[in-house]
Amino acid sequence: MLRVVLADDEIKVILLMQKLIDWQSLGYEVVGIANDGLRALELVKEKQPHLLITDIRMPGCDGIDLIRRAKELQPKLHSIVISGYRQFEYAQNALKYGVEDYLLKPLKQEELCGILLRLKDKLGEEAELEFQLKKSGERCQEQLMAALENAVARHESFLNAEQAASEYGFHFAAGSYFAVLVKPDISNAEQYRDGYQMIMHHALEIVRREVHQLADEYAVSVQKEGVAAILFLRNYQAVEVKQAFTKIRKEIEKQRDLFWDIRSTICLGSRKNCLEQMDISMREAMWLCLDRLCRVQPWRDAEAESPALGERYQMDPAQKKRFQEAAECLDEDRFQQELDDSYRCILPRKPLNGQMLEDWFEQIVDAANYGMKQSGNVEDRFSETMREKFWRCTNAQDIFRLLREGIRQQIQSLKEEKSRKETRPITEAKRYIQQHYQEALRLEDVSSAVGFNATYFSALFKKETGQNFMDYLTELRINKSKELLCADGLSIQDVAEMVGYRDLKYFSRLFKKTTGVSPSDYKKLYK
């Protein structure tokens, strides 16, 4: 859709333009309306329209001044002016600013529709090119931010300006560099995963729009920690930076219509004079972002407060071992008790910061993961998924719940898998017995067929079925013999042999012991 902003000081004219045209069918979308020139200018900056339709005479600033200033903000913007006959000389004067056409009042549907149709192909081609360039630029930003994320994870220096230019097309120079994390938080984010992703998408677009106006060069992307960015400003002005990011925070928090308790935290790393030090600035921003788990503040700046990067948490080896053992035994109750005890110990710790909570979380996840792997196949992305979910937590209690539920679910999954593994050979054994019960079948034959030694198989078979092997085989054979005894033309000797008994007397004795009647009486009763 091609985006349109309508501006006229007469609300009835705007309403008329909206009603005259089926904008959507023509491929247009009215994204904003304004009754004065200054508001229209704000909409151009905010909505980035393809087309501006404006009156000549308006309060705030007139249509000609609006077009001039709007073109400075958005050089590729196209404009149509609305004019009365007495204002026509003004409309002519607007042509030097690249006005596409003009409309005379009173507005006529066929004239406005004709102009829009004529502009559609031209604007459409430009919009498509703009879209492709925008996507290409966004991909470069994401790639640059991925390289920074990798450098932070490896504790390596970031790229220099020459590498950023040759590999990603960015043009950094002398000035101020800093990293930022914008972190939207909503309670119970795991229950609203789709909503959380929606919030992150909106946050990304808001950050992109505002830093585009602020920075000389920038890169932005969504990461598990939040919306991450690096900014380059030739002339850093602290007031302008804070104003821009305060606006970003407020814009994100407007999403309270969907999530009433949404809050946003802005975390700035310290300013550096070269791109290579962005890994340091981003680590500082991440530390401040983690610390929101302990101290809720909307604005954190590493220039004003020094992140305590060296203050870490190290779990007692004996406690870590207990976590491992509980997980290896798939003992949910024991693991829960260890988690409760550990949580009660870390909360009162002084000092306690968000980085320490992350250390505590990761050491428990690693210990549990190691222990569970000794008992079965843990999900490939278990640890990675838990770390992604960690960044959706808003406080220590959320982290505790994530550990409790996430590891409990994995233990239960392993228990079920273990049960299936133990049941599977018994299922195969039953199938084998069903196929060979007419033969002189021994325990050793069946256990060999399913790949177990006879002693272990016998114990496993009793555990899963509640019967020992011979009792199960006898019950199967007697049940089959009941069916056969009811059939015509089969003697008791025939039936005995068909279910695996060569000795008629033994079969008769066993049949009566099991059913309470002899085979001949059963045949008479049920034939």
Query: What residue spans define the domains of the chain?
Result: 2-107, 138-301, 317-416, 437-526
* Residue length of the chain: 527
Domain 2-107, what architecture? Answer: 3-Layer(aba) Sandwich (3.40)
* Same fold: 2-107 with 138-301: no
Q: Quick check: 5 and 34 in contact, CB under 8 A? A: yes
Q: How far is CA 161 from CA 96, 141, 169, 208, 275, in A?
A: 40, 14, 10, 21, 6
Listed residue (20, 98, 206) closest to 8, CA to CA:
20
pTM higher than the cut 0.85: no
Q: Quick check: 457 and 429 in contact, CB under 8 A? A: yes
Q: How far is CA 323 from CA 179, 329, 369, in A?
A: 37, 10, 10
How do the pLDDT tens digits run along the chain, 527 residues long?
Answer: 889 999 998 888 889 988 888 898 888 999 999 999 899 999 998 888 999 999 888 888 888 888 888 888 888 888 888 876 555 555 556 555 667 777 777 888 888 888 888 888 777 766 666 656 667 788 899 999 999 999 999 999 999 999 999 888 898 999 999 999 999 998 876 666 667 887 888 899 899 989 999 999 999 999 999 999 999 999 999 999 999 999 999 999 887 766 668 899 999 999 999 999 999 999 999 999 999 999 999 999 999 999 999 999 999 999 999 999 999 999 999 999 999 999 999 999 989 999 999 999 999 999 999 999 988 888 889 999 999 999 999 999 999 999 999 999 999 999 888 777 767 788 888 889 989 989 888 999 999 888 888 888 888 888 888 889 999 999 999 999 998 888 777 889 999 999 999 999 999 999 999 888 998 888 887 66
Beta strands across the sheet bearing 78-83: 28-34, 2-7, 51-55, 78-83, 99-104
Angle, nearest 10°, between helix axes 161-168 and 109-154? 130
CA atoms within 13 A on the CB side of 139: 7
Helix (H) or strand (E) holding 410, with range, is helix 396-436
The Cα 57–Cα 68 span in angstroms is 14
Q: Where are the alpha helices (DSSP H) in 265-395?
A: 278-290, 317-328, 332-346, 354-373, 382-390
Query: Which class in CATH covers the domain with range 138-301?
Result: alpha beta
Helix (H) or strand (E) holding 26, with range, is helix 23-26
- Domain 437-526 in CATH 1.10.3720.10: no
